[in-house]
């Protein structure tokens, strides 16, 4: 690539930003950032019936969350109506397009007839060929008409960046409408007009657009514009091999935000759907993604979206992201979960980072991580029923044991080595394994059966709170042993 490319992502605001769109946006962004090119965002809101402001907002939010920043001003396709009309009329004037007075109803009927006759419907250009005087009188009468593109003879092809040479015989392309009878443009015209106006040099999009491409190339030529390079990315499928849709569960990028996926993990995962850096490289930072990204690694085959692998990858990012960056991302979640306040956590950043180091490898999602944080932030300990049932089988015995543990710990230094020595000695004195001591303690201290190492927990909870929790557990167990 001699000059840096100008790319764009052009979603239509007819719903949330789904993962397929996000992947397309990501690839465009990656290539722009890699090459020093530009990445533009254009909202294709020409379908006024289906476009909504909420959807537009969701697209901005999704892009922002993913960290896909765009260059130049966002453009709205609907704002370019005048140019679209101008281009359509220029084609009409040059003879590349013609007026068609056939109504929608007539077209429907023609299609039904063809279907009934077992034939495929083709638009017959002769339908629109009116004698000059009739044409003029219908124009004078103000009859509505569409503008159709006159598809020339021959074949239309291009060298696709991912697929290589692709060619369509023009005879298989109907004369297609470029301007509706209400004067609004049809997709193919609007896209080409806008891409020419914004000097897009590389059109990278889903391969469901492959069959639109010859039409668009014809339009570029008729408009006298230089062709961009085309790159058609494979689709993203659901686990059943069908195009990803709502019934596959979470398909909006906002869903993954809410599920506790990190933006970098999402980008990393999405990047690997339809692209490979070659070799065994998988977990990559955003910068590595940019560094390694290349058109050579683009794949042709549709990929199945595997949420389980996404979670694994998120776990990898959770464990590897620099602690400060992770902390910054996490704080709002902590506050929202009511575990702390921005002020309170700012006062004990060091303690929090130590805790975060312990928990980050044990969680696959931000939500799991936040849930695991609870016992260290909130004073009240909620005993998990299963954990209590399993680790405190005999309440009276457990109470007595925890009382002994509490006494040993209270006597010594609040330091891992000393505490471990004391508790192992206790185990030996009683002839029981440390697991028989640590597990009941774990429940008393955190309420759950799975946590970081017990001494890390003791340190993270702190001396006073730990002793208080052991006391509380003793009281709780004594009470239930009497009740039982």
Partner RNA sequence: GGCGGUAUCGUCUAGGGGACUAGGACACAGCCCUCUCAAGGCUGGAACACGGGUUCGAAUCCCGUUACCGCUACCA
According to CB under 7 A, which residues from 8 to 47 bind RNA? 12, 14, 44, 46-47
Out of 83, 138, 180, 465, the residue judged to bind RNA by CB under 7 A: 180
Residue range at the interface with RNA (CB under 7 A); choices 124-132, 259-267, 273-281, 400-408 = 273-281
- Quick one: which H or E segment has residue 179? strand 177-179
Is 246 annotated as catalytic? yes
Per DSSP, the residues of 425-467 read HHHHHHT--THHHHHHHHHHHHSSS--S-HHHHHHHH-HHHHH
Q: Which is nearer to RNA, 12 or 80 (CB)?
A: 12
CA nearest neighbour of 470 among 441, 448, 438: 441
CA nearest neighbour of 231 among 478, 434, 37: 37
278 makes contact with RNA (CB under 7 A) = yes
For residue 385, the SS3 value is: helix
- For the window 318-347, what string marks contact with RNA as x by the rule CB under 7 A? -x----------------------------
- Ranges within 289-308 binding RNA (CB under 7 A): 296-297, 299-304, 306, 308
Residue range at the interface with RNA (CB under 7 A); choices 19-27, 314-322, 347-355, 473-481 = 314-322
How far apart are CB 139 and RNA at their closest, in Å?
A: 15
Out of 140, 280, 350, 464, the residue judged to bind RNA by CB under 7 A: 280
Residue range at the interface with RNA (CB under 7 A); choices 236-244, 337-345, 400-408, 467-475 = 236-244
Cβ distance 264 to 283 under 8 Å?
no
CA nearest neighbour of 27 among 218, 217, 254, 207: 207
Structure tokens at 224: 């006298």
Query: What b-and-e string marks burial along 359-374, b requiring 16 or more CB atoms within 10 Å of the CB?
Result: bbeebbbbebbbbbbb
Out of 149, 158, 168, 292, the residue judged to bind RNA by CB under 7 A: 168
Q: Which is nearer to RNA, 250 or 335 (CB)?
A: 250
Structure tokens at 179: 């301007």
Query: What b-and-e string marks burial along 148-177, b requiring 16 or more CB atoms within 10 Å of the CB?
Result: bbbbeeeebebebbbbeebebeeeebebbb
Q: Which is nearer to RNA, 101 or 333 (CB)?
A: 101
Number of H helices, E strands in the chain: 21, 12
Q: Please give the Cα distance from 31 to 37 (Å, whole number).
A: 8
Q: Which is nearer to RNA, 198 or 478 (CB)?
A: 198
Q: Please give the Cα distance from 169 to 9 (Å, whole number).
A: 28
Residue range at the interface with RNA (CB under 7 A); choices 97-105, 335-343, 378-386, 405-413 = 97-105
- For the window 430-469, what string marks contact with RNA as x by the rule CB under 7 A? ---xxx--xx--x------xxxxxxxx-------------
How far apart are CB 119 and RNA at their closest, in Å?
A: 9
- For the window 51-80, what string marks contact with RNA as x by the rule CB under 7 A? --------------------------x---
Q: Which is nearer to RNA, 340 or 439 (CB)?
A: 439
The CA angle 98-103-105, to the nearest 5 degrees, is 150
Q: Which is nearer to RNA, 201 or 439 (CB)?
A: 439
Given the residues 246, 390, 393, 436, select the one marked as catalytic: 246
Q: Which is nearer to RNA, 150 or 478 (CB)?
A: 150
- Ranges within 370-429 binding RNA (CB under 7 A): none
Residue with tokens 């429940």: 443
Structure tokens at 310: 């996404």
- Ranges within 191-230 binding RNA (CB under 7 A): 207-212
Residues with catalytic function: 246
């Amino acid at each position: 690539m001699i000059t840096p490319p100008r790319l764009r992502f052009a979603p239509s605001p007819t719903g949330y930003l789904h993962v397929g769109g996000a992947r397309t946006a990501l690839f465009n962004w990656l290539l722009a950032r890699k090459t020093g090119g530009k990445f533009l965002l254009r909202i294709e809101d020409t379908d006024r019936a289906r476009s909504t402001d909420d959807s537009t907002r969701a697209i901005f939010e999704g892009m922002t969350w993913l960290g896909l920043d765009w260059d130049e001003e966002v453009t709205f396709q609907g704002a370019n109506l005048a140019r679209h009309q101008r281009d359509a009329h220029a084609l009409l004037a040059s003879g590349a397009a013609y007026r068609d007075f056939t109504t929608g109803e007539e077209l429907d009927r023609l299609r039904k007839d063809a279907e009934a006759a077992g034939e495929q419907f083709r638009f017959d250009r002769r339908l629109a060929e009116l004698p000059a005087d009739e044409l003029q009188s219908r124009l004078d009468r103000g009859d509505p008409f569409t503008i159709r593109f006159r598809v020339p003879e021959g074949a239309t092809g291009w060298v696709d960046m991912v697929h290589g040479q692709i060619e369509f015989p023009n005879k298989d392309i109907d004369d297609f409408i470029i301007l509706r009878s209400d004067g609004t443009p049809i997709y193919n015209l609007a896209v080409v007009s806008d891409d020419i106006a914004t000097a897009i040099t590389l059109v990278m999009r889903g391969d469901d657009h492959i069959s639109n491409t010859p039409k668009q190339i014809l339009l570029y030529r008729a408009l006298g514009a230089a062709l961009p390079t085309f790159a058609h990315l494979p689709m993203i499928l659901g686990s059943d091999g069908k195009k990803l849709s709502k019934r596959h569960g979470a398909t909006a990028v906002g869903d993954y935000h809410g599920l506790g996926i990190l933006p970098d993990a999402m980008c990393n995962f999405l990047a690997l759907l339809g692209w490979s850096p070659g070799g065994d490289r998988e977990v990559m930072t955003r910068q590595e993604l940019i560094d390694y990204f290349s058109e050579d690694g683009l794949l042709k085959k549709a990929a199945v979206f595997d949420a389980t692998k996404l979670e694994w990858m998120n776990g990898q990012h959770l464990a590897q992201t620099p602690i400060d960056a992770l902390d910054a991302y996490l704080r709002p979640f902590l506050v929202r979960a009511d575990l702390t306040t921005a002020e309170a956590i700012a006062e004990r950043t060091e303690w929090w980072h130590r805790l975060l180091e312990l928990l980050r490898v044990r969680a696959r999602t931000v939500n799991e991580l936040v849930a695991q944080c609870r016992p260290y932030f909130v004073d009240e300990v909620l005993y998990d029923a299963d954990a209590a049932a399993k680790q405190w089988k005999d309440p009276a015995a457990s109470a007595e044991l925890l009382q002994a543990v509490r006494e040993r710990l209270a006597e010594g230094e609040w330091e891992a080595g000393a505490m471990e020595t004391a508790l192992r000695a206790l185990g030996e004195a009683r002839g029981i394994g440390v697991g028989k001591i640590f597990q009941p303690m774990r429940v008393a201290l955190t309420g759950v059966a799975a946590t970081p190492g017990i001494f890390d927990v003791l340190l993270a909870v702190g001396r006073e709170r730990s002793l208080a929790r052991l006391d509380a557990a003793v009281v709780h167990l004594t009470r239930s042993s009497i009740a039982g």
